[in-house]
Structure 1
Amino acid sequence: MTEPEVRSDLLLRLESFYDAVPRQGARAELIGPLVLFVREGAGWPYYARPVRPDVQVSGDDVRDVLGRMDELGVPHQLEWVNDLTPSLAQAVQDAGLTLQLCPLMVLEPADLVVLDAPGVSVSVMDADDPDLALADACAHVAFGAGIGTAVGEGGVAERDASAAELDPARVERLRAGIRSGEQVRAVARTDVGPVASGGYQHAAGVAEVVGIGTLPISRRRGIGAALAGVLAREAFARGEHTVFLSAQDEDVARVYERVGFRRTGTSGIAEP
């Protein structure tokens, strides 16, 4: 295939992944040219997205979905491959949502570079790992700091406080998901225990690296890149043929380029 054909094939694979992942734990409600995935049971709520890549979406279509989300009491969120459904970018803004366009990056097995972070041990977690709650708390502190990827004050004390507040049922769901293979988690540890964590979700041979979060006080040490490399290596070892991620911005994209990820397109995320 030519280079444009290869890129198109990759984007369509990612499109299929975004549609397949929520179907593992949610019901699909068709609302005009969009589909809303409603989680059944406990866990993070899912998003709405186009029913197929070539649809045209208007602001009114998005407002219809937001109205249904309000009825269900779930957060307003849409995700899609922007290269395949470009009309949605304007539609979500017309409906009053904030649009974020993120570099969509794919990793080829031959390009993978697993980096070391000095003084840090990175490993894939098993279901019985005693640090699972602390690792999960690292991500909560990282994403809740409100400072993006900047270095900050959040550290071990904040991690431990967050872990103490975690719902035990959530931790047990994580353990069950790891045991079944539905979830894969990795942790970065130093002499103070977990300082970062991340994972990947997978469907139909495609894995998306997600949720890499480092305690603000431990940033700028290459930990995020090291986690991404270990997770990608694990995904390929388990038989996934495509590994990708959405970088928060161009600066973050450059971090993952060190691991071997290359920009293939743009993902769209819309929230209030």
Structure 2
Amino acid sequence: MHTDVQNFAVANLLRRPATVEVGGFVVGIDPTTTSPYVNYATPVPGAEPTGRDVGDLIGAFRERGLKPRLEFAPDTAPAVEPALRRAGFATEAVHEYMVCTPATLAVPTGSIEVVAPDTDEDYTAIDTALSEAFGGEFPASPEGAARLRRTQESGGAVRFVRAADGGCAGAAVCSAPAHGTAEVAGVGTRSAYRGRGIAAAITAALAGTTFAGGASSVWLEYSGDGSRRVYERVGFRPRGTRLYLTLEG
């Protein structure tokens, strides 16, 4: 059983501006948004929650006006999924995750320049580009740009490729490492710039930066065969599955 990714998930949520620890779960909260993709919970490895523990977890969300939602690697806490399903939680998604190490990293050759943001305008451009890349699922906002800056300034990394107009063609984020690993997320390219190798270049750059900082691995999730092939080309290999559960109503 690999627990590094799940241990990372716990540590990463504990970095949120506000956290709640209840019944073997950690709830990460960002008071600037009610988005369930930002405010969610994860279990500690090996957690065996009771019905009361799950009820307390649900209450922690409800009293803050948030949707109860979890992300976790189910094999690291086998008792958690059944307990949540008994309380009415349903599957939102199941994603396979992939891991890259210094030994497997393959940096693409080519002339794509990947850079770190420097100004407020850069962070705003990145937030706007990622919103476009994901079809507006995550609307661009000053708060989103501020979260990107916090990631960069708190030990993580944000990288992007400049567009011809000086904005952002594509970007991604890597969290600050914990338990020897870090998560690459939000790999997105604006539609007009796809098919040029931008996602691969940015992902490899983030992995290299994170390894240079001392991490022994980085991991990410992929959304389809196309993105999987991109990540495989730069050295990511399948490792396990992460489960997303939500409680409606």
The reply on whether 1:187 has 2:166 as its aligned counterpart is: no
- Counterpart for residue 145 of structure 2: 171
CA RMSD of aligned residues (A): 2.9
Change (3 A) 1:191 1:240: same
Match of 1:98 among 84, 91, 94: 91
How big is each residue's C-alpha offset from its partner over 1:28-47, in whole Å with a ceiling of 9 and x where there is no partner? 433334332334x5467432
Change (3 A) 1:200 1:60: same
| Inter-partner Cα distance in structure 2 for 1:32 and 1:115 | 45
Match of 2:210 among 235, 240, 243: 235
- Residue 58 of structure 1 deviates from its aligned partner by 6.9
5 Å-filtered alignment, 1:8-23, equals: 8=1, 11-23=2-14
Change (3 A) 1:130 1:37: closer
Gaps of at least 5 residues in structure 1 are: 1-7, 147-161
- Residue 211 of structure 1 deviates from its aligned partner by 0.9
TM-score for the superposition, normalised by structure 2: 0.80
| Inter-partner Cα distance in structure 1 for 2:92 and 2:146 | 34
The reply on whether 1:248 has 2:223 as its aligned counterpart is: yes
The reply on whether 1:83 has 2:75 as its aligned counterpart is: yes
The reply on whether 1:32 has 2:23 as its aligned counterpart is: yes
Give the structure with the higher percent helix: 1
Q: Conserved in 2, the CA contact under 8 Å of 1:142 and 1:213? A: yes
How many residues in Structure 1 have an aligned counterpart in Structure 2? Answer: 240
| Inter-partner Cα distance in structure 2 for 1:234 and 1:216 | 26
5 Å-filtered alignment, 1:208-223, equals: 208-223=183-198
Q: Conserved in 1, the CA contact under 8 Å of 2:129 and 2:189? A: yes
The reply on whether 1:65 has 2:45 as its aligned counterpart is: no
Change (3 A) 1:61 1:242: same
5 Å-filtered alignment, 1:107-118, equals: 107-116=100-109
TM-score for the superposition, normalised by structure 1: 0.74
How big is each residue's C-alpha offset from its partner over 1:99-130, in whole Å with a ceiling of 9 and x where there is no partner? 4221121111021112257xx73423143374
The residue identity in structure 2 corresponding to 1:200 is C
The residue identity in structure 2 corresponding to 1:13 is D
| Inter-partner Cα distance in structure 1 for 2:131 and 2:48 | 36
- Residue 144 of structure 1 deviates from its aligned partner by 3.2
Q: Conserved in 2, the CA contact under 8 Å of 1:185 and 1:197? A: yes
| Inter-partner Cα distance in structure 1 for 2:136 and 2:109 | 25
Gaps of at least 5 residues in structure 2 are: none
How big is each residue's C-alpha offset from its partner over 1:69-121, in whole Å with a ceiling of 9 and x where there is no partner? 1211234321111221234344445524324221121111021112257xx73
- Residue 262 of structure 1 deviates from its aligned partner by 0.7
* Identical counterparts, % of pairs: 30
The reply on whether 1:261 has 2:228 as its aligned counterpart is: no
Aligned residue for 1:17, secondary structure, equals helix
